[in-house]
Amino acid sequence: MATHFRKQEEPAVPRRTRGGDESYHAPAGNRHASTPTQAVGYKSVVESAGDGRGSKRDRRRKGDYVDTDPYDIKGRRDPKRRGARVISCVLLVVGICLLLAAGGMYAYNQYQYHKQDEINQKLSVYAKVDDAGNEPPQVDWEALKAVNPQVVAWVQIPGTNVSYPVYQGADNDAYLHTDAEGNYSIGGQIFLDAQNASPGMIDAQSIIYGHHLYNGAMFKTVADMENQGMFDSVKTVWYVTEQATYELAPLFAYKTDGEDENVRRFTFDSTDAFHSYLFDLAARASSKAADADARIQAANNVLSLCTCSYTGNETGRVVLVCTPKDVQSAQ
């Protein structure tokens, strides 16, 4: 009697999914669920006549998975998404570093402005000033020279924060970022051009320079005087030396670039040449006195205050030209 044996059925081959086989469990906390079959966008096997052994007809196509699934067909992280995450992290770190750097620079500048204010306050005690502008500053020259013997004058614009000693170095870099005691400072000191004869208004044009600081210190007021309204509000500028006191009035203010060497003209061959020079500058002035032409005709010398101007994206220079109203020799 023949015995028939049934062929033992082979176990079904586990179906592969994008996250691996059916027994795969995603890492804890993965938003795509604990198993790939429960993942967002997972598509079930389309009913077919497959043999149940993992044939091609039973396998899911690559297109059956949505882009939100971070695993490839072999259960590995999608390298494109991994790269994107790395780039995002790098950009985040760079952004944080830039913010920290910007914050550090801002804090450093504020500290430097604070130091400059302390320097200015320390020097201010050497002169008694009349804020109304009716009287010239009374300067303690002996005390100022004890701090720095290169002091040559004191300049004041009544009603503003401009009230500073004026120094003159061997060159125009000497006090650009150096205070009266020889230390670094962001605003340096107000200084007379190194090529000018000193200490008084000896040349046809004497030029003093000062920084335009964003906190309003030094010569910011001078920069503001390219505006006609601000210009008209200033009636007097005091320039006091140990030998004489000059009471001046603003003549005009003009704007130029930092490379304009025509600004730095100190002497002229004749009075007519000097007047012609002033008329040319007045023609390009952004603000000027109503009687500017008559005063130019009578001028023998001028004091010019020069500072930086920041308008939009441009950096230039504003020059305020003043003529003497009265000159008194020291007693």
CB atoms within 10 A of CB 244: 16
Q: Which CATH number fits domain 127-329: 2.40.260.10, 1.10.3810.10, 3.30.470.10, 3.30.420.40?
A: 2.40.260.10
Query: Residues near 268 by Cβ (< 8 Å), separated by ≥ 6?
Result: 204, 274, 277
pTM given for the model: 0.70
The whole-number pLDDT of residue 52 equals: 53
State yes or no: pLDDT of 54 exceeds 60.
Answer: no
The whole-number pLDDT of residue 330 equals: 77
Beta-sheet pairing, 302-311 with 314-329: antiparallel
Q: Where are the domains of the chain?
A: 11-75, 127-329
State yes or no: pLDDT of 262 exceeds 70.
Answer: yes
In the chain, the N- to C-terminal Cα span, in Å, equals 150
Q: What is the pLDDT of residues 58-103, one digit of tens each?
A: 455 544 444 455 555 555 556 667 677 788 888 888 888 888 788 8
Type and span of the H or E element at 125: none
Which of 86-95, 145-154, 158-167, 291-300 is least confident? 86-95
Q: What is the pLDDT of residues 178-193, one digit of tens each?
A: 999 999 998 999 999 9
Q: What is the pLDDT of residues 28-52, one digit of tens each?
A: 555 554 455 555 554 554 444 455 5
Give the residue-averaged pLDDT of 264-268. 97
Report how far residue 168's alpha carbon sits from residue 195's, in angstroms, rounded to the nearest whole number. 9
- How far from chain centre, in Å, is Cα 241? 35
User: Would you place residue 306 in the very low, low, confident or very high pLDDT band (cuts 50, 70, 90)?
Assistant: very high
203, 148 Cβ separation under 8 angstroms: no
303, 202 Cβ separation under 8 angstroms: no
Give the residue-averaged pLDDT of 119-128. 92
Which ranges of the chain would DSSP assign to H, the alpha helix?
79-124, 141-147, 220-224, 228-233, 271-283, 292-298
User: Would you place residue 118 in the very low, low, confident or very high pLDDT band (cuts 50, 70, 90)?
Assistant: confident
The whole-number pLDDT of residue 47 equals: 44
**DSSP tag of 184:** B
